[in-house]
Amino acid sequence: MPFIECHIKQGLTRERREELMRDIVQVTHDSIGSDPKIINVIIHEHPAENISISSRINGEEYKKK
């Protein structure tokens, strides 16, 4: 039973989150053949200021102290 967690920046509309979940279920089904009825998806939304990507904080390069 696949369980997929997505951590994303806040701001998607309800409709877009639902579309994202449907897309994830479909891609998982297509990729590994799991029955969509047993594919679980959870979306965690976070404020942008709580996310660091590739060591960037708020879009700024990492600064050594």
Residue boundaries of the structural domains of the chain: 3-57
Q: How many CB atoms lie within 10 A of CB 8?
A: 13
Report the topology of domain 3-57. Answer: Macrophage Migration Inhibitory Factor (3.30.429)
Report, as an integer, the average pLDDT of 25-36.
97
- Kindly state the tokens that stand for 52: 């660091």
User: What confidence tier does 63 reach under pLDDT thresholds 50, 70, 90?
Assistant: confident
Average pLDDT, the chain: 92
46: left (phi over 0), alpha (psi -120 to 50) or beta: beta
Query: Quick one: average pLDDT of 6-27?
Result: 97
- Rg of the chain over Cα atoms, rounded to whole angstroms, equals 15
At 52, is the pLDDT very low, low, confident or very high (cuts 50, 70, 90)?
Answer: confident
**Residue 46 pLDDT more than 80?**
yes
